Structure 1
């Protein structure tokens, strides 16, 4: 088995699409509607047929409460991997992103950065040195 899709709740799908594509650099994979429901996914340009991230509207009260609690506690809604967090930090910051935590070595060989996705979530970027 492998993970094909995971979801993150967002407060505005158009704003989320802009952030995840224009700021983070992901590629839009699916975007279609059925009545009031919109199915919207993005994927890494490095693995376009890999795992997709659904940008799900938080119109469910339980989803909204979960999203808000995670954000208030400083817990990332999603974590992504990069070979170079510092380079990603500079690239993404130059596109106007607001970082809650700049690249920080949290233990030997592990560096993380966290940013606000402007849709109610923290995104964490990790670099893990493999030994």
Structure 2
């Protein structure tokens, strides 16, 4: 497993985005000031802080029977084989709130909650994002 991001679920996306980009100086992977999702990094490494509109995430999980309205963040871990990870963790007693399923055309994801209810997202990347090209 590889830690890829800590994702903050935010209500005022533009304000939080500008704070991380303009005040802290993190580099956006792509410009998305109005959301609903952005990923910003302090350097060229893979780990990042990601922002996601809280209502969008709550809607996604609500469709699956999980209330995400109270969540403020989640840990995101990249795995090579999501199905194998799901099977292994389930055998150890993990209860997933969202079983492996596509999220867009670039990845598959699954979600579970730790004993305190904190969300953990497991991602299997199917295709890498194209690097931004300078104009």
Q: Same fold (TM over 0.5)?
A: no
* TM-score, L = length of structure 1: 0.42
**As a proportion of its length, which structure holds more strand?**
1
